[in-house]
Amino acid sequence: MDVRVYATLRPIIGGPKASLDIEPGNTFQQLLDEMIARWPDLTRELYDSKGQLHTGIHVFLNGRDVRYLGGLDMPIPEDGEIRIFPPVGGGSHPPADAGLIQVTHEYHGVPQWLMKEYLTDLGAAPVDDQTMAGDGWQAVISKAEPNRIGSLVVGGAAVEFTGPSAILDALFAKLHWKTLRGGG
């Protein structure tokens, strides 16, 4: 079974995908246990000091967090698409040797809901209400400080992107054209 992982988990497992010896019917906990057995460094990323899954870790089944479906003891269905997202938007920056950068862009005139649609069109999946993750990058969306031009006030979205520079540059080129269209 293949599991897609994002951001800080990728350097640990050596790429965006883990191929595991887990069969449908096994639980998500068994899946995580196999991942820890193969990559012990995942322990610090996935679990807190009490052995509980970090609250910032999101294990998704077909786009929905398993916490709200049946938890880690839930069996994995045969057609399950599994993705694991680490926490994003915290108080620390990625290590320099990970090759990741953080860049914040403001998009005035583009509301947060529309930015989420644009990022979905570019391959992102929601992690939570404000966070989206694509292949090799993550974006945390918030409300931008309004631009004031005389009496005109223009709001928009502020987006903090995290990922390798080359991936973000390619993403920004595509996103730039979407935002120029003004929602069209």
Tokens 């390619």 belong to residue: 170
Per-residue 3-state assignment (H helix, E strand, C coil) for 10-44: HHHHCCCEEECCCCECEEHHHHHHHHHHHCCCHHH
Let me know: does 169 contact 117? Beta carbons within 8 Å. no
- pLDDT at residue number 88: 59
- pLDDT at residue number 36: 94
- pLDDT at residue number 122: 93
How much is the pTM? 0.53
Strands lying side by side in the sheet with 2-5? 17-19, 2-5, 82-85, 58-61, 64-65
Let me know: does 84 contact 9? Beta carbons within 8 Å. yes
| List of domains in the chain | 2-85 (3.10.20.30), 96-180 (3.30.1370.80)
Per-residue pLDDT of the chain (184 residues; tens, 9 = 90+): 889 888 788 889 998 898 998 888 999 999 999 999 999 999 988 888 888 888 778 888 887 888 888 889 999 998 888 989 886 544 444 444 356 788 888 888 899 999 999 999 999 999 888 899 888 888 999 998 888 878 888 888 999 998 888 888 889 889 988 887 654 4
